[in-house]
Structure 1
Amino acid sequence: MKTKILHREELKLSSIQEKMIESGWGNGVISNSVTEKIFYESDGLKIAGFISYPKDQSKKYPSIIWCRGGIGNYGVIEDFYARGIFGQIASWGYVVFASQYRGNSTSSGIDEVGGAELNDVLNLIPLADEIECADANIWGIEGWSRGGLMTYLVLTKTNVFKAAITSGGISFLDCSKEKRDKYLQFLYELTSEKLSTLDYDEICKSRSVINFPEKISKDTNLLLIHGTEDDKVPFENSVKLAEKLKELNYNCELKLIEGGDHFLKEQRNEISKLRKDWYDKYLKQI
């Protein structure tokens, strides 16, 4: 079998950082999980990412893809946060795969924010065959903010995921001249020569799952989390999508967090429990 993981090395932090991880993400995150930095192949490109898994590798664990937020290098996953975010999920009994996306961090290529780099998410799936403790047949996916947009679009391309979670996820974009989205401006500046004639209205429609919710896999059980005081992605993004999915008879649950901002830091423990319970219900009951 030709390997798609080009390089992997365990992520090491200082003892002080490890104590901070335990304080912020819970006791056992450091002692019960391993997190690695990786490079993997996607469409011929060398993409940076992470893998995290339980230290106890005596059995197989369900696999989860985590989709980062942000645009370009704003939102790149730093080592400290990777150890906390992914190590926490791994400590719950899962193997986590995450991408920095093409054109970001040390990845080659160009980030189109909902375009070709969706393949960088899908191309994480075969990596499970190279991780001995990963169950390549049981999958979940999670995305925050722009990562929510990525999650929704990926769910229109495959039915492999049994559980999906978004937090502050983007389901529709405002492409009016008065309120052109920052991501579109970024896209234009980054690839203006290549995409100067692109129809931005069409981009918005094709990136906004609210326009085609019926394309999302019905095999996926969705949990949409959103803070009511989110000043970056209005909570209506989750409310309107949840309404449409319920009309289409999807198994979709909406959790509005009263007073929660975009990052939901003040409600971290509550959100962690919601997420763990959702994964355990749909990925460990199979």
Structure 2
Amino acid sequence: MKNAWFDRVEVLPPYAGYPIHRGWYATRDGEDVVAYTITPKRPNGHVLFYLRGGTGRIGDVRLPRLMQFAARGFHVVAPVYRGNHGGSGKEDFGGADLEDVLSLYDRVRRTDTFIHALGFSRGGMMALSLAAERPLTSVTSWAGVTNLEWTYEEQRSMRKMLRRMTGGDPEAARAAYVERSPLYKDWEAPTLLIHGTDDEQVRLRHATAVAERMGERAELWVVPFAHQLPFWEKWKTTEEAMDWMLAIAQKND
């Protein structure tokens, strides 16, 4: 764990022998945000931003998930976004809370060069938006939201929350939806898109539209599952994604 990344740090009990820390950091817009880190036993020299999905406690950071990356040598950094785990402010679903990721990235960049981002679902939107704002060694969107207007169409249960955060529905507040949507952004980082054929929460079109737009700069892995993969398939696909990240880094070094 690198203290330069945080304003204050709490040491947590180790998980499976891996050092765990909870850190607080100030964002440029004045919020106090929490992130978790797992320090690898055998560092590979790469940092991985793990960007969670969901909101609040739904889709929250889980240490067993982070440990798989640390076991391969990644120094894992997982912000939980403003308003969570004792942090200040309120989540904004890819709007103002994108600054939570950008501010932490800028701190990490002072000490590390090889920085990857992987985001799941809502976190895929955050990861690709980070890539549009900052240089990354690679970026992976797993079942990621890329067009928030489509999410409004697909998820009736989220419409009230999205109207509250954006100021209206996609017709009334289209600029807010476009601003949050990676489909309308540009980035240079090598990109991996992982998506299930049967995903009803974030439809496959979110990935295929980005892949079509980016061409050879993006790699698309379509898997025959829904939003969540069975445990062993998820484990195997994660291992393959890390292989891809390290191969990309070696190729471009």
| Candidates 85, 110, 122, aligned match of 2:65 | 85
One-letter code aligned to 1:254: L
Match in the other structure for 2:180: 207
Matched, 1:53 2:23: no
- Cα 1:155/1:68, change in 2 over 3 Å: same
One-letter code aligned to 2:105: I
- Cα 1:177/1:238, change in 2 over 3 Å: closer
Match in the other structure for 2:136: 161
Structure 1 CA distance, aligned partners of 2:150 and 2:122? 16
One-letter code aligned to 1:205: V
- Bigger Rg over Cα: 1
Structure 1 CA distance, aligned partners of 2:97 and 2:21? 21
- Cα 1:148/1:234, change in 2 over 3 Å: same
Match in the other structure for 1:114: 94
Give the 3-state SS of the residue equivalent to 1:225 in structure 2.
strand
> Pairwise mapping of residues 243-258 of structure 1 onto structure 2 (< 5 A)?
243-246=212-215, 250-258=216-224
- Per the TM alignment, residue 174 of structure 1 is displaced from its structure 2 partner at its CA by 3.1
Structure 2 CA distance, aligned partners of 1:136 and 1:270? 27
Give the 3-state SS of the residue equivalent to 1:174 in structure 2.
helix
Match in the other structure for 2:248: 282
Match in the other structure for 1:70: 54
- Per the TM alignment, residue 168 of structure 1 is displaced from its structure 2 partner at its CA by 0.4
Match in the other structure for 1:240: 209
Structure 1 CA distance, aligned partners of 2:180 and 2:159? 11
Match in the other structure for 2:148: 173
**1:139-177 CA-partner distances (Å, limit 9, x unpaired):** 11110000011112222212x202111110111133699
- Cα 1:108/1:244, change in 2 over 3 Å: same
Give the 3-state SS of the residue equivalent to 2:133 in structure 1.
coil
**1:211-235 CA-partner distances (Å, limit 9, x unpaired):** x2xx4222x1111001111121111
| Candidates 262, 271, 286, aligned match of 2:227 | 262
Sequence identity percentage:
24
Structure 1 CA distance, aligned partners of 2:229 and 2:239? 13
State whether residues 162 and 169 of structure 2, in contact with CA within 8 Å, keep that contact through their aligned partners in structure 1.
no
Structure 1 CA distance, aligned partners of 2:223 and 2:151? 29
- Per the TM alignment, residue 104 of structure 1 is displaced from its structure 2 partner at its CA by 2.5
One-letter code aligned to 2:161: F
RMSD: 2.8
- Cα 1:118/1:182, change in 2 over 3 Å: farther
Structure 2 CA distance, aligned partners of 1:68 and 1:118? 12
| Candidates 61, 70, 78, aligned match of 1:98 | 78
Unaligned regions of 5+ residues in structure 1, if any? Answer: 19-29
| Candidates 40, 64, 72, aligned match of 2:25 | 40
Structure 2 CA distance, aligned partners of 1:56 and 1:140? 17
State whether residues 7 and 39 of structure 1, in contact with CA within 8 Å, keep that contact through their aligned partners in structure 2.
yes
One-letter code aligned to 1:257: V
Give the 3-state SS of the residue equivalent to 1:11 in structure 2.
strand
Match in the other structure for 1:25: none
Match in the other structure for 2:239: 273
- Cα 1:76/1:196, change in 2 over 3 Å: same
TM-score, normalised with respect to structure 2: 0.85
- Cα 1:207/1:91, change in 2 over 3 Å: same
